[in-house]
Amino acid sequence: MNQLDQLKQHTVVVADTGNFRQMAQFAPRDATTNPSLILKAVQQPEYAPLLAETVAAHAGTPLDAVVDQVLVRFGREILRIVPGRVSTEVDARLSFDTEATVARAERLIDLYAAAGIGRERVLIKIAATWEGIRAAERLERAGIHCNLTLLFAFCQAVACGDAGVRLISPFVGRIYDWYKKSAGAAWDEAAMSGANDPGVKSVRAIFEHYKRHGIATEVMGASFRNTGQIVALAGCDLLTIAPELLAALQASDAPVAKALDADAARTLPLPEVHLDEKGFRWALNQDAMATEKLAEGIRPFATDAGKLDALIDGLKR
């Protein structure tokens, strides 16, 4: 078997793309999108008619509502291909506004429902700020399941578990990027690869904490730079992978062994951890990598959301 097929024996594989026509060849169970991926997709010629059709059908609707219609239209097309769930992201510019995040998430779910898609097939993607986690807590209580993204710190994972979030997306590649840049010339790529990769280690710590303490939140590793990071997390609940890395896995027949083991994690002597708001904010503040990467992650997503707004607004005129 190729590496992708081997990986599927240990982990649920998720496609990380807005290009739904590219997905079928990899047979993922779920798919994730974000503002940058949707913006990239809608600028491709093959998606121009779908975008124009969606905008034209809602020409008299406020811009933010038309944007949500476009996001849901892409989500609907993705769900024709994957048998599981699609993650659709709330506007990153609402990352510090709990009430607005809840309202936007509810509207997205209503749009999916109007198209005949049940909420069990949708995850609302929200940045893992304190305000975003509080929004997700409320949504989960209402039966709307969430994917907390831009997760770089253990404290974010703890708060998400306490909030009863359905799924988290701890980032691997961006953590790796930060530590590599910080180390400069002292960085030893060979020594910091595989299980020693700082992004891989972060996901492993979260996975083991959740399994040890019976936290039901699913762990989905995200943001990969190479297939070695993916293989080092085989056994994680889910892994969301960009098409170019899915293709690389499909092209290789190197062995893929289970690296994360939920049963083994349940026996580890790990302390139980809970955080209130003050504890969360202090822990995040003390983690320079996570603080920087969370802010850096929100900014380009917000910028691309603005670009998507401008593109759609131009079509409305």
Catalytic annotation, residues? 125
Instruction: With CA atoms as reference, report the closest residue to 90 among 59, 142, 135.
Output: 135
Query: Helix axis angle, 130-141 relative to 98-114, nearest 10°?
Result: 40
C-alpha–C-alpha distance, residues 284 and 159, integer Å: 11
Q: Which residues pair with 245 in a beta bridge?
A: none
Instruction: With CA atoms as reference, report the closest residue to 147 among 273, 19, 238.
Output: 238
C-alpha–C-alpha distance, residues 203 and 221, integer Å: 7
Q: Which two tokens stand for residue 266?
A: 């349940």
Q: Which helix (H) or strand (E) holds 168?
A: strand 167-170
C-alpha–C-alpha distance, residues 201 and 194, integer Å: 9
User: 112 and 119 in contact (C-beta within 8 Å)?
Assistant: yes
Question: Per-residue DSSP letters for 66-133?
Answer: HHHHHHHHHHHHHHTT-SS-EEEEPPGGGTT-HHHHHHHHHHHHHHHHHTT--GGGEEEEEE-SHHHH
Q: Which two tokens stand for residue 310?
A: 């401008």
C-alpha–C-alpha distance, residues 258 and 111, integer Å: 39
Q: How do the residues of the chain divide into helix, strand and coil, expressed in percent and rounded to 5?
A: 55, 10, 30
| Residue environment code for 58-89, b if the CB has 16+ CB neighbours within 10 A, otherwise e | beeeeeeebbbbbbbbbbbbbbebbeebbbbb
